[in-house]
């Protein structure tokens, strides 16, 4: 159950808590100063289907590419290596070095590129303009005390936007877990619960070990199997 702050405690706004969190893990200008990142992205679904890609991002312009060495989950019907990217103007996919022009595939590429970049820079991007922070109170979970913050995004056009609910560890000011919707995939009412573990890399705290599964707005952990996501071999300033 959520409890509101007692009067002895300092009352924070949601945005102040986000600023404290970003001070702790590293800011967007810290990322920007590193210019780019290359890392290995491993995604394993409960049935064992696996994606392994080499991800490359330029922080200026949010440009990205992903070279998939395994893609059993992403475009499993395409045999051999695929590379997808965003060059600042358009999303593209190459299969065996040849550009594929297929609307359904390009919709998938648009989702993957945007999502993968967002996950990597999410903590920093929570201070972007157009992001709204609502403080919901406190809760205790897994023997830890959390500030709970609801995140919504200003709508552009008539496209509905996702809702996030962050659990900010009161001791460390880091997001140990969060709930999120995937409106693009029709998941509006049932959020996913994402749990995070961080590594210190080049002065930043990066949530490199991640796992998620369906939950509810109370972040109840069910017996459903986890989807595992791992970022490894992270190299900045290439």
pLDDT digits (tens, 9 = 90+) for 43-67: 999 999 999 999 999 999 999 999 9
The pTM score is: 0.91
Q: Containing H/E element for 114?
A: helix 103-125
pLDDT tens column, 156-212: 888 888 999 999 999 999 999 999 998 888 777 889 999 999 999 999 999 999 999
Are β-strands 204-214 and 227-236 bridged in parallel, bridged antiparallel, or unpaired?
antiparallel
**Angular region, 48: left φ>0, alpha ψ -120 to 50, beta rest:** left
Q: Is 63 exposed, middle or buried (0-12, 13-18, 19+ CB in 10 A)?
A: middle
The percentage of the chain sitting over the pLDDT mark of 70, rounded to a whole number, equals: 96
Range 200-227 average pLDDT? 96
Range 124-128 average pLDDT? 95
CA 108 from centre of chain: 17
């Amino acid at each position: 159950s959520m409890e509101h702050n007692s009067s002895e405690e300092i009352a924070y706004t949601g945005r102040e808590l986000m600023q404290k969190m970003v001070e702790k893990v590293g800011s967007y200008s810290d990322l920007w100063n590193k210019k780019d990142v290359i890392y290995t992205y491993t995604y394993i679904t409960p049935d064992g289907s696996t994606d392994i890609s080499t991800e490359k991002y330029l922080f200026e312009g949010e440009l990205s590419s992903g070279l998939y060495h395994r893609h059993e989950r992403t475009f499993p019907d395409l045999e051999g290596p695929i590379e997808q990217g965003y060059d600042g103007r358009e999303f593209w996919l190459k299969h065996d070095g040849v550009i594929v022009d297929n609307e359904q595939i390009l919709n998938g590429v648009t989702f993957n590129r945007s999502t993968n970049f967002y996950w990597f820079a999410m903590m920093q991007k929570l201070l972007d303009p157009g992001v709204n922070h609502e403080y919901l109170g406190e809760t205790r979970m897994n023997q830890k005390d959390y500030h709970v913050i609801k995140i919504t995004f200003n709508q552009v056009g008539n496209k509905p936007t996702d809702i996030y609910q962050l659990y900010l560890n009161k001791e460390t000011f880091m997001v140990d877990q969060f709930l999120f919707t995937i409106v693009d995939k029709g998941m509006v009412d049932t959020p996913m619960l994402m749990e995070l573990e961080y590594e210190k890399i080049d002065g930043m705290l990066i949530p490199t070990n991640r796992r998620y599964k369906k939950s509810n707005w109370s972040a109840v952990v069910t017996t459903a199997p986890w989807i595992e996501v791992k970022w490894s071999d992270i190299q900045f300033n290439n």
